[in-house]
Amino acid sequence: MRHLAALAIALVVASPLLAKPGVDLGTPHDCCKDGVPCAWPGYQKGVQWEDSLDAAFARARELHRPLLFHVLVGDMDREGT
């Protein structure tokens, strides 16, 4: 029994992680083009982003919908709990 358990663990550890659908992980992408960062392939497959917060507000008023506003801060020194 212990041998079977050890074998199962070994198989799990050795197997590659299953890729989630929607992204071809086997094809590295260009990270930059002409000095401008490119989006990671998975980024643009989900939530649709307006060009700016102004545009989002205008569209939200037009559609009578709430907004989702996501903010990313790259400075990890300001990270907290």
Binding site for other proteins (CB under 8 A): 17-23, 25, 28-29, 31-32, 36-37, 40, 42-43, 45-50, 52-61, 63-76, 78-81
Helix (H) or strand (E) holding 8: helix 2-14
Smaller CB separation from other proteins, 7 or 40: 40
For other proteins, give the closer residue by CB, 13 or 71: 71
Q: Which is nearer to other proteins, 7 or 42 (CB)?
A: 42
CB of 15 to other proteins, least distance (A): 13
The type of residue at 19 is A
Q: What is the closest distance, in whole angstroms, from the C-beta atom of residue 37 to other proteins in the complex? A: 4
Q: Which amino acid, residue 53?
A: L
CA–CA distance, 11 with 36 (Å, rounded to integer): 42
Q: Name residue, tokens 């990890």.
A: 76
Measured at the CA of 6, the angle between CA 5 and CA 8, to 5 degrees, comes to 65
